[in-house]
Chains A and B, each alone.
Chain A
């Protein structure tokens, strides 16, 4: 069996939610860019900011008000909590469906009774998940580029930055996919794997927000996966694309390697 035929099956199973995510990402990018173009909020927000504590000022400036330029708005679509949630749900959904739920339904038992090595199955699943997430990322990229084209000025610099952000988002989503595969390769049930994976993402996100606001907890930032997902910083030219890619890829590889090891040894079902 090759990757493409398994991907076809994964696509058929997950296409409804993936298409919804893709449509929403494109629409959201267009909407945000159109919204920011239509009124000048910069001055109003600056005066509001001065009334807030210093940490809060910095946090809001970087995470939100920097987006009130058209360039920043293009990055904002990638950083909106709803977009992050959708990306995470897509990344979690694939392994939970194709490992944990299939273990429960018995379809994985039948698949693995065929001449397929377990590590080949894991590579097919990982590869299919990566392809699915690539399609979603490409839709976000297209939404941004179209938005900039329609409502702003398209330049090589801005396109290359949006491309860099998209790569960052893709690698981040692959990490979520990979640690969910790791959990699914050990977990007994679909609900457990799904809930645990979502909880990990949620805890990381909350800790990340707190660490940004609270100086004494800032030291934990480098240990947080969201630290390596920085669309706004990349758009402002302050990102660390190399380090981000290295950490996200390394962690994804580690999680996937461990998942193959565990899956090879586990009982089906």
Chain B
């Protein structure tokens, strides 16, 4: 493994499903020891990229290198180093939890690794694991899925909606585990609709829209692009302000509070404050945008 190379390098990846675009001309790098997130609405192409990375889908164009090796021809070797949790994880219904985990340990020709520790962390008891997985609740099934993805200490972990079905307590356990893996130098690729979770975990994000990556940036840099968010309550209706060097873009929050306004500030904040001070302000809050604001910026027209 060459440490100067990115763990994942995707170049001009294109995949069509018949005439429908799955992903189009996608390129990005994921560095070692980072948590890289995919953000996008349903059908944007997140899962398609993940499946292409695991050689489950065959691309129409483009290249993928993982750990410095081309995926094509080295797929088995690369997958030895990966752990994968698919979205909507399903286990074999006729197998017990133990049988299921043993099957995958056997499949990897690996030892039990971190299995006991993981089972303990996720509160999966021996009596649970002796039951057939068809009797598992959604949350238990998801915990089993996370254990199978992490139990062999993979160098690259690919997670598609990992916390769906987990209660808040288990979500915290999962986050701790992810940070522990990160401290050990593991690289994590992460796809989620859960914006606070993405904000909490990811170092960098790829914003995917209609099969194309529209932006790959750190969360801070994405937020900076949106600017600041100003919530303003006035004693009278808002008179449209013209500010040189700045712009106030109204955000529809859906609230019916009279004379309460939310704006995205673009440009120089001082000039905005100067102009706003001339109004009869009842209350004002200026904050950094949330990831939700960023998300809405990219997808509001979809």
Footprint of B on A, CB under 8 Å?
1-2, 5, 9, 12-13, 105-107, 109-117, 265-269
Contacts and interface: CB of A to CB of B under 8 A. Distances in A.
Interface in B35-92: 51, 54, 56-58, 75-77, 79-80, 82, 84, 86, 88-92
A12 B109 contact: no
B104 interface: yes
Given A110-B84, A114-B107, A116-B76, 7 more contacts: A9-B95, A109-B56, A114-B104, A115-B79, A115-B107, A267-B58, A269-B56
A163 B148 CA distance: 45
Contact of A13 (B51, B82, B92, B109): B92
B86 A9 contact: no
Given A115-B76, A115-B79, A267-B57, A107 B108 contact: no
A106 B160 CA distance: 13
Contact of B90 (A106, A114, A115): A106
Interface in B81-115: 82, 84, 86, 88-92, 94-95, 99, 103-104, 106-109
Interface of B: 51, 54, 56-58, 75-77, 79-80, 82, 84, 86, 88-92, 94-95, 99, 103-104, 106-109, 148
Contact of B106 (A2, A267, A268): A2
Contacts of B58: 265-267
Contacts of B106: 1-2, 5
Contact of B82 (A1, A2, A9, A113): A113
A115 B110 CA distance: 11
B102 to A, nearest CB: 8
Contacts of A266: 58
Nearest to B145: A110
A116 B107 contact: yes
Contacts of B107: 1, 111, 114-116
A268 B94 contact: no
Contact of A12 (B94, B104, B108): B94
Nearest to A15: B94
B86 A113 contact: yes
5 nearest A-B residue pairs (beta carbon): A268-B56, A1-B107, A113-B84, A115-B80, A115-B79
Contact of A114 (B91, B94, B108): B108
Nearest to B79: A115
A107 B56 contact: no
Given A110-B84, A116-B107, A267-B56, A9 B76 contact: no
Contacts of B94: 9, 12-13
Contacts of B95: 9, 12
Given A2-B106, A267-B57, A109 B79 contact: no
A268 B51 CA distance: 8
B76 A117 contact: yes
A110 B79 contact: no
Contacts of B75: 117
A113 B54 contact: yes
B76 A110 contact: no
Nearest to B107: A1
Contacts of A112: 54, 56
Contact of A115 (B89, B92, B99, B108): B108
A109 B103 contact: no
Contact of B91 (A5, A13, A107): A107
Contacts of A265: 58
Contacts of A114: 79, 104, 107-108
Contact of A1 (B80, B109, B148): B109
5 contacts: A1-B103, A9-B94, A107-B92, A266-B58, A268-B56
B22 to A, nearest CB: 9
